[in-house]
């Protein structure tokens, strides 16, 4: 097994307020964004980490980060419980 695979640790959680999230909707259901592409400002975040989007005390999106590109954007999916509107923010 390559060293990079042996050294993988636990997933990290990235959280942000909905008002501060720069995102676009990639998939939607019932008017809610289920897969989003968002601006990533933390270079330590990797696929498999978790994105939590809050609006005050409410969790609006809780999903796994599925990809991170070299341009500072990432994608995350919450196909069961997303409560953020399907739009570009």
Place of tokens 């409560």: 83
Strand 50-55 with 13-17, pairing? parallel
Strand 73-77 with 58-68, pairing? antiparallel
* 33: exposed, middle or buried (Cβ count in 10 Å: 0-12, 13-18, 19+): buried
- Other C-beta atoms closer than 10 Å to the C-beta of 60 total 20
Distance CA(74)–CA(67), nearest Å, equals 5
Mean pLDDT by groups of 10 residues along the chain of 89 residues: 50 95 95 96 93 96 96 96 84
């Amino acid at each position: 097994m390559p060293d990079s695979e042996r050294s993988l640790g636990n997933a990290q959680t990235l959280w942000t307020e909905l008002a501060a999230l720069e995102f676009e909707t990639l998939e939607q259901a019932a008017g809610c964004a289920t897969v989003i592409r968002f601006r990533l400002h933390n270079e330590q975040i990797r696929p498999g980490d978790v994105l939590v989007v809050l609006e005050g005390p409410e969790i609006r999106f809780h999903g796994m980060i599925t990809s991170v590109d070299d341009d500072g954007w990432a994608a995350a999916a919450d196909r069961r419980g997303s409560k953020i509107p399907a739009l570009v923010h």
